[in-house]
Amino acid sequence: MKKADATRLWPVMREEAQARATDEPVLASFYHANILRHASFEDALAGMLAVQLDSGTLPAGVLGDVLREALAADPGIARASCADLAAHRSRDPACDSLVTAFLHYKGFHALQAQRIAHRLWARGRRWLAHLLHSSACARFDVDIHPAAVLGEGIMIDHGTGIVIGETAVVGDNVSMLHGVTLGGSGCGAGDRHPKVGSGVLLAAGARVFGPVRIGDGARIGAGSVVLADVPPHVTVAGVPARVVGRPLRRDPALVMDQRFAAPPDAGATR
């Protein structure tokens, strides 16, 4: 996959927005307000999120300034956002353009809200991070704690019901569908949430609990409950999850292929 960055994606997004504004004049002002009037990807991202997360407590004008400040101070946020956007475009056959994902996909929106909340959290502005997190939960039905560490090129398809806990870590190029939970174990403090490797595919309704490790390129079957470490490049399914095979490719998250080959040695993951 080509490296995604604002220099490459932003001109394409503007072309897409202009074409849609021409084809559907009723929406011309919508595309102008959200894409065409902005000078950069970062400015458009801040404006879009500010409108999405507007509340009486933190109105869009004030929130937009907070978001722009964070994006200007940490270029890594926009880089990760572009990778997430490219992931939606390349992995979701229902996504017909970059603009569609940018403007309409709440999984993408929730990820970007968390990325900015994470920066605020890491710099001690935790009350503001909590407020941003709370607004995102209410707006998108996606709950990603501001302290969770997320890689780049993540796709959250549909988004509804996603929960990612405080000490969770998610690697690069991960795909997850609705209803996925990366949950904690017990009520004690400390490391208590999953560590998900790169290239992992988490199918709909998968539940992973505790500080378990999911190896690179693994695939977690729909509705599975994972309570133990999962080796790299295997498929697990069931309650509790057991090895049932292996992905047909080493990068299941990139191709979204939920089929699996016959297991070499099926057995428990624990």
Supply the pLDDT for residue 108. Answer: 98
Supply the pLDDT for residue 198. Answer: 97
Residue 67 reports pLDDT greater than 60: yes
Supply the pLDDT for residue 263. Answer: 53
Q: Which CATH architecture has domain 1-142?
A: Orthogonal Bundle (1.10)
Supply the pLDDT for residue 57. Answer: 80
Average pLDDT, the chain: 93
Check residues 58 and 139 and name the one with the higher pLDDT.
139
Supply the pLDDT for residue 6. Answer: 85
SS (H, E, C) the chain: CCCCCHHHHHHHHHHHHHHHHHHCHHHHHHHHHHHHCCCCHHHHHHHHHHHHCCCCCCCHHHHHHHHHHHHHHCHHHHHHHHHHHHHHHHHCCCCCCHHHHHHHCHHHHHHHHHHHHHHHHHCCCHHHHHHHHHHHHHHHCEEECCCCEECCCCEECCCCCEEECCCCEECCCCEECCCCEEECCCCCCCCCCCEECCCCEECCCCEEECCCEECCCCEECCCCEECCCECCCCEEECCCCEEEEEECCCCHHHHCCCCEECCCCCEECC
Supply the pLDDT for residue 84. Answer: 97
Q: Which CATH architecture has domain 161-270?
A: 3 Solenoid (2.160)
Give the pLDDT confidence of 93-130 residue by residue, as tens digits: 999 999 999 999 999 999 999 999 999 999 999 999 99
Residue 241 has which token pair? 């999850």
pTM: 0.92
Q: Domain ranges in the chain? A: 1-142, 161-270
Residue 270 reports pLDDT greater than 60: no
Residue 266 reports pLDDT greater than 60: no
